[in-house]
Amino acid sequence: MSNEELAFYIAHSMTAVSSHESYATAASHKNRDARFGSIASLVYDSVKACNILRYMNGQVYAFDGCIYVPVIDETFMYAIEHFLKLMSVDTGDISRNIKNFIWKAFQALRMSCPLEPSFHIWAFQNGIVNFNLIDPVTNRPALLPFSPEHHVIHKNSYSYDTKADCPLWKSFLREVLPERESRLTLQMFFGLGLYDRGKMTDKIENCMMLFGQGSNGKSVIYETIKGVCGAPNIAEMPLMALLRGGDEKYRNMAKVDGKIFNYCPEVQARDLSMYSDAFKSLCSGENQYARVLGRDIYTVRNVPWLVFNMNNMPKSTDGSYGFFRRFIYVVFDIVIPDEKQNKRLAHDLKAEYPGILNWMFRGRIYLRERKYQFPVSESSERRKLLNIGESNPVLGWLKIRGIRANSAVTGELSAWIPSQELHRDMLETSKVNGFRDETAVRFGKEMQKYGWNGRTSRKRSAGGILYRVYGISRDMLNKDIPCLLDMEIKTLDEFDKKVEYDPADIN
């Protein structure tokens, strides 16, 4: 629809909900101010009653029969002028007071016609789908007719099909992610895209890191998810652009507002120590401030889910485990040889978009049934521990050794161990795993951060400081120094027992 056609469409739609008699009465006033004021009030009412017009973040939208499309200001102003002519308002009155009539129309939009897109409502070539409304017969979201009641601003290029499958996609994932838990993590995180984050009662505080050195399928996943969700729904804003303070950050937040995922294809490792609080807030989906150039600051209440492709993991000297637990790692260890790479795979997968959408929806269900707890794979847990150790050797050592300041169960035995023995074990563990050393003084300060800061957990003796530790005995120290690359990592998952997975997703 051209701008002129859109203007005529808006004008005629307003005419359909307006009273010619009321406009004729208003236009008959002898007093010019009374006449102009009455017509302006009627314009306000006509815009308010026209259910195809909406307004969001300084932009006018009109329902085109399928979705809401943006309307440039000049088109909307021309539509108001044409509408007044259709309502038989005197052309002289229109020309003399058109600015006030248009201002009244914009006022009606701003005050009474908000556009409020919901991320759980998507448009397809054959209709609308609300992923929160499940058909009891098919156990799938039902296809709904297009309607201005559905505030959708993007229509996907493919049709919705509850029976569609994606065998090529699942075969590809089995090749690049042999671990079942890694594939399920990917599926569940992308399933979050079918939720409206700003309206979720369950808080999810994670971002997903796809880690690998290259030639391993990460770019295919990126292109495919962008195609399934629709390119306009995917932002590609660098992480640091959303963390640095000031007006630049506000403008960058405005660019990701209204997106489902902020998906950075390649991110270089950075020390996030200066921005750890901002990073945790962003991952948690907490409200963020944004500003469109030339407009006031406003609040972003629906922060997009964060996905990053990484060759090296970011670091932080943040002393808490809260920073590291934000990361959900999916590790791509399989390198596909050049002769086996399908350079057209992302293109070939377009035919499976309806099936991949169904795959995402199943991930949404799995995650809900797991109480929004993601699976933990051995490779992801190993990568997390390496990342912790590289950033904070003491915390990494504690996590690798399983040493705690408190008991995990009632009656668990503890041991009082000299500080110098614990420090020596930490240095040996760091050496084996490639972490940096920490001085005895620094070691002591770090131990206080992690719970050894009271009389019941730390005391002085003739030989120095003693720590009360759980999870390890004195005999175990300096014996079988753990090497993360070789050690077996247990990943017990109690949440799996309550989920009925589709066999095709786990085999």
- What digits encode the pLDDT tens for the residues 167-184? 999 999 999 999 999 999
In a domain, 487, yes or no: no
Burial class (CB in 10 A: 0-12, 13-18, 19+), 15: middle
- Is residue 270 a contact partner of residue 227, using CB atoms and an 8 Å limit? no
Claim to verify: residue 108 and residue 242 sit in the same structural domain: no
In a domain, 233, yes or no: yes
- What is the predicted pLDDT for the residue at 267? 61
Q: What is the pTM of this model?
A: 0.87
What is the per-residue pLDDT across 257-279, written as a single tens digit (0 to 9) for each? 989 999 986 665 565 667 878 88
Q: Looking at residue 438, which CATH number applies to its domain?
A: 1.10.10.10
Q: Which residue, of 53, 85, 112, is where some domain finishes?
A: 112
CA atoms within 13 A on the CB side of 230: 20
Number of domains observed in the structure of the chain: 3
| % of the chain residues with pLDDT over 90 | 61
Query: What range does the domain containing 330 cover?
Result: 159-377+493-506
Claim to verify: residue 312 and residue 172 sit in the same structural domain: yes
Cα angle for residues 202, 207, 210 (degrees, 5° grid): 140
In a domain, 58, yes or no: yes
pLDDT at 319 over 60: no
Distances (CA, A) of 313 to 98, 209, 284, 374, 429: 58, 8, 19, 20, 20
In a domain, 130, yes or no: no
* Among the ranges given (289-293, 312-316, 439-443), the one the predictor scored with the smallest mean pLDDT: 312-316
If one counts every other C-beta atom within 10 angstroms of the C-beta of residue 112, the result is 14
Claim to verify: residue 354 and residue 266 sit in the same structural domain: yes
Q: Which residue, of 42, 77, 112, is where some domain finishes?
A: 112
pLDDT bucket at 81, cuts 50 / 70 / 90:
very high
**Residue 97 and residue 318: Cα distance in Å, rounded?**
61
In a domain, 383, yes or no: no
